[in-house]
Amino acid sequence: MWIALRTPSVVRAVLDRRGGEGMKEYIDRKALIAEYDRVHQGTAGGARKLMVDAPAADVVEVIHGEWEAFDCISESKRGRTIHYATHKCSVCKKWNGRHAPNYCPRCGAKMNGVKTNV
């Protein structure tokens, strides 16, 4: 169950029945209750109790980053010049060699692309 803010003073609990379709939104409970208390006039009704008693979701904040690509030049044993790129995480600044997966294996940041540094 997650809480969706429809208008500043009306809050409804919505059971997500989409079976994983689409992106879910998670709201900071303390901030939502503080905003509700600020906007709502009169006695606290069932909506505030629902916000306080709603079960918390087990979520992790996603850290976004990008691979910084650096051009490298090497020479093979046969004297040929080899051009390749090495990648560094923009979040933790750790090198990941030639591989640029969708996440950083060291800090867990989700990579949104590659920034080229020549």
**Cβ-contact 88, 67 below 8 angstroms:** yes
Structural domains of the chain, count: 2
Q: Which helix (H) or strand (E) holds 113?
A: strand 110-117
Q: Alpha-carbon distance 49 to 37, whole Å?
A: 12
Q: Could you read off the pLDDT of 15-66 as tens digits, one per residue?
A: 333 344 456 777 888 888 888 888 887 777 778 888 888 887 777 778 889 9
- Give pLDDT, residue 5: 41
74 plus 45 within the same structural domain = no
Residues 6+ apart with CB under 8 A from 55: 1
| Structural domain includes residue 58 | no
pTM above 0.85, yes or no: no
Residue-number span of the structural domain to which 45 is assigned: 2-53
Percent of the chain exceeding pLDDT 70 equals 74
| Structural domain includes residue 28 | yes
Q: Alpha-carbon distance 45 to 43, whole Å?
A: 6
Residue 38, beta-bridge partner list: none
Q: How far, in Å, are 6, 31, 43, 82 from residue 49 at the CA level?
A: 17, 15, 12, 65
37 plus 6 within the same structural domain = yes
9 plus 39 within the same structural domain = yes
